[in-house]
Structure 1
Amino acid sequence: MNWRDVPSLAALRAFEAAARAGSFSAAAQELNVTHAAIAQHVRAIEASLGASLLVREGRGVALTDAGARLAATLTDGFGQIIAGVRAIRDDAEARPLAISVTPTFAENWLMPRFSDFWTQHPGFDLSITPSIDVVDLRRDGFDMAVRYGDGDWPGVEATHLISADYTVVAAPGLLAGRKVTQFSDLYDLPWLFETIHREPRLWAEASGLDPARCQIRELATLTMLLSVVRAGAGITVVASALVSDDLKAGRLVALMQETRDRTGYYIVHAPGVLPDRVKTLKSWLLQAARS
């Protein structure tokens, strides 16, 4: 297909609208441009094709034979384009909204709050995919993601959702009322860390935890780890937003904490105007983070 010999689509749209409406003014109003712009587009097509397409008739315009043939072809072609676009949009609206989140975020922050979302939006069809992989939204078919990091990712728009400051936590019964001001106050107690995500342990060691002076065990997931910590079997380091419900309920207590400026969980989506469903979910996430 060689487009170099074809007038611009903007010009063809202008001609098709004028031919269908029988008026440059009506076409200009439909396409939200000026009367002069429609006339200029039509003249450009006539010059390119070497044929007269429209002639003045009273206060409007009438089609020549060549104009009638081109108008019929364009009306059919644009109609197929519109039908194809509508079909894709209808398919997109019919499928569940796809969101990618980290398993830790899904299990410890998102899902405990999600009954509120479905209460507010009972007909909202949503597919949540937990994954530690950084997905390509367009390539992998996701409408939105929640990512952990500093929010600086190329090609996407990132909105800060919750901070991910590190907090040392334990069950109240494990501490037996002891005063904690530094890591050495806790060396006689077992420490628990995730096998996969090493950042909390690296932060603890950089902040003063000496692994040679305490007992450390590792578990595969944060969900497993927090279950053990809630049962009073050890101490761990975790993003405070992921244990906010535990801290409020008193199941865990915060012993030490570091506040980080940019690191946290971000809502990520393609730049530009958002579809209504994406806007709805994004708005709810931000509301849930504030509550």
Structure 2
Amino acid sequence: MDDEDSPMLIEGRQMSKSVRQPMAIPRRFLPSMSLLTAFEAAARHQSFTIAAQELAITQSAVSRQIRLLEEQIGCQLFVRDKQTVRLSEAGAAYAREIGEALRRIGTASLNLHANPHGGTLNLAILPTFGTRWLAPRLPRFFELHQGITVNLSTRLTAFDFESDPFDAAIHFGDRPWAGSEGVELMGEMVLPVGAPSFFNTHPVKSAADLVELPLLHLASRPDHWERWFSRHGTTVGRLRGMLFDQFATAAQAAGSGLGLALLPTFLIAADLDRGDLVPALNAPMESPERYFLVWPAGRGQHGPLAHFREWIVDEAQALGR
């Protein structure tokens, strides 16, 4: 999703109604942190020597820890060739998993260190929605909940709550999402807009006049122009034009006179007020998709998420009033 721009398909596995305790992993399959950090550094650098320098230990200590790890899990992780080492096929796969696991442990520890009392919300956002609508409103949330930290990460592609470390996400699209829960925030009205100078050389009186004009398209909404023309009684064939992955760049291109973009009015309100963008026609269209706040099933009572959900629903409702 740009946001908006690109519908984010949230996937997950269906959870049973009963809560099951995870099976304990035998201790022999849980290497110590010192072994794992030595392996991760050696795998990242493809060198025991550079890993030793990074960890401030000796090269022989790194080599010994890698050997202990290989013995513990019963698998060769590195291929030793004279004075060089390289990951084995199994080692490369293990390195990807361990690197991500250590990153998540580090992020969780950093979040707790930065905010030991209020809690943290890791939120995936749509880029333009996040910068133009959410970010300007966040100070009001922090005034109400001063102990909570909100970490924002933009996502343009589909992701799975089970593999991405998010507590929630802003989603634009349709229901439902297997293994996820959500609350509707708002809809949107889109409007064809361009730079004032564009219309000096491209006069527009009806929807049909737009067919031959340069149209700017969003990769996440490839059929929105066709929907708009259909909504306003104009039959079109295959439409061509520049393609963008985010609303912000499409809006900038439209404002620079490159063509007409079909954009949500609530995201370009400031551009319209300044006169940087003007409507080609007073001919809006309501998008069939909606904006949602979604979270993994069973995690809705996470404190920071519960507070954020209550707040953002109120903010979205205020927009519609």
TM interval, short-chain normalised = 0.5 to 0.7
Alpha-carbon spacing, 1:111–1:215, altered in 2? closer, same or farther (3 Å): same
State the structure with more CA Rg: 1
Distance 1:119 1:209 in 2: 51
Give the distance between the partners of 1:113 and 1:235, measured in 2 at CA. Answer: 29
2:285 aligns with one of 231, 250, 258: 258
Which residue matches 1:240? 265
Equivalent residue pairs, number? 202
Q: 1:222 deviation in Å? A: 2.5
Aligned to 2:247: 222
2:295 equivalent among 228, 250, 269: 269
1:149 shift after superposition: 0.9
Q: Give the alignment partner of residue 101 of structure 1, picking from 98, 108, 125.
A: 125
Change (3 A) 1:233 1:200: same
Q: Secondary structure at the match of 2:182?
A: strand
CA offset at residue 204 of structure 1? 4.0
Q: Taking CA–CA contacts closer than 8 Å with sequence separation of 6 or more, which of the two structures ends up with the larger relative contact order?
A: 2
Contact 2:228 2:285 in 1 (8 A): no
Amino acid at match of 2:123: I
Aligned twin of 1:164: 188
2 CA distance for matches of 1:127 and 1:248? Answer: 30
Cα gap change, 1:163 to 1:211, in 2 (>3 Å): same
Matches within 5 A, 1:78-117: 94=116, 96-117=120-141
- Whether 2:153 is the aligned partner of 1:126: answer no
Classify 1:115/1:231 alpha carbon distance in 2 versus 1 (closer, same or farther; 3 Å): farther
SS in 2 for 1:216: coil
| Correspondence 1:150 to 2:174 | yes
What secondary structure sits across from 1:274 in the alignment? coil
Structure 1 gaps of 5+ residues are: 1-87
Q: How has the CA–CA distance of structure 1 residues 203 and 187 changed in structure 2, closer, same or farther, with 3 Å as cutoff?
A: closer
Per-residue CA deviation, residues 56-104 of structure 1 (Å, 9 max, x unaligned), is xxxxxxxxxxxxxxxxxxxxxxxxxxxxxxxx9x969746311112234
Note the aligned Cα RMSD (angstroms): 3.7
Contact 2:120 2:304 in 1 (8 A): no
Q: Cα offset for 1:235?
A: 0.9
- Tell me the SS of whatever aligns to 1:140: coil
TM-score of the two chains, using structure 2 as the length reference: 0.51
Q: Which residue of 1 aligns with 2:199?
A: 175
In 2, Cα distance between the equivalents of 1:143 and 1:96?
9
Instruction: Report Cα offsets for 1:173-206 as digits up to 9, x if no partner.
Output: 4335998563222346432223454243443465
Partner amino acid, structure 1, of 2:293: I
Distance 2:133 2:297 in 1: 25
Q: Shift of residue 130 of structure 1?
A: 0.9
Structure 2: any 5+ residue segments left out of the alignment?
1-108
Q: 1:136 deviation in Å? A: 2.7
Q: How does 1:187-202 map to 2 (within 5 A)?
A: 187=211, 189-195=213-219, 197-202=221-226
TM-score normalized by the length of structure 1: 0.56
Distance change (3 Å), C-alpha of 1:189 and 1:179: closer
- The one-letter amino acid paired with 1:267 is L
Q: Secondary structure at the match of 2:242?
A: strand
Q: Which has the higher helix share?
A: 1
Which residue pairs with 1:286 in the alignment? 313
